[in-house]
Amino acid sequence: MNQDLSIIQLVLHASIVVQIVMAILIAVSLASWTVIFSKLFGLARVRAANEEFEREFWSGRNIQELYGDANRGNGPDAPMERIFASGMREVMKLRERRIVDPGALLEGARRAMRASFQRELDVVESRLSMLGSVGSVSPYVGLFGTVWGIMHAFTGLSNMQQVTLATVAPGIAEALVATAIGLFAAIPAVLAYNRFARDIDRIAMQMETFIEEFSNILARNIGHMAPPVPAR
């Protein structure tokens, strides 16, 4: 007896539990691909915006002019720009309170920039854990579907008088499709997770380096900055 062992026919003839497992894995795979493309373009925008702000920062412009642009939204809307603005904002607030000690001003700016850095890093890392979960769990979900399908296949063969390879093969093939779909969902997620984790580490290192460099600039110039304009 010739039997159609195409992927579509194997899925259609699989047991209901295996079909549910396959449907879950396909949905998870589509969701992970959505996250992959979203993170791919999102991280590219973050890198481009940070590089644009760094060029402006090191172009020799006055830091108070850059701060004004950041407050007005005229900058590149980069995480690094928001970190810079948080440090400058804290300095201005402390000076409004008549705090003039350079050490206190610098420490306040560093704390504000560290808090802003952590917020920006949380945004950049968002949904990355989903890819890690898909990569680690999907093969086991597919394996569960395979085990269940093989159990179902052998249970159906228990009442047959004569069992041949032709009767066993379709049931086992149906079950193995679940493992294949699980691997199809897991492999891209693992590769993307490793790639994005490495990119995020580089972005974090770049922002931490900027915090240290800007702190050094503040330490040299904080006493010469123009006082804030009093509110009217």
Give tens-digit pLDDT for 116-158: 999 999 999 999 999 999 999 999 999 998 888 888 777 766 6
Q: Residue 43: its pLDDT value, please?
A: 95
With bands split at pLDDT 50, 70 and 90, how would you rate the model's confidence at 63? confident
Q: Given a cut of 60, is residue 218 above it in pLDDT?
A: yes
With bands split at pLDDT 50, 70 and 90, how would you rate the model's confidence at 98? confident
| CA proximity to 120, closest of 215, 191, 208, 41 | 208
Q: Residue 21: its pLDDT value, please?
A: 87
pTM, two decimals, is: 0.80
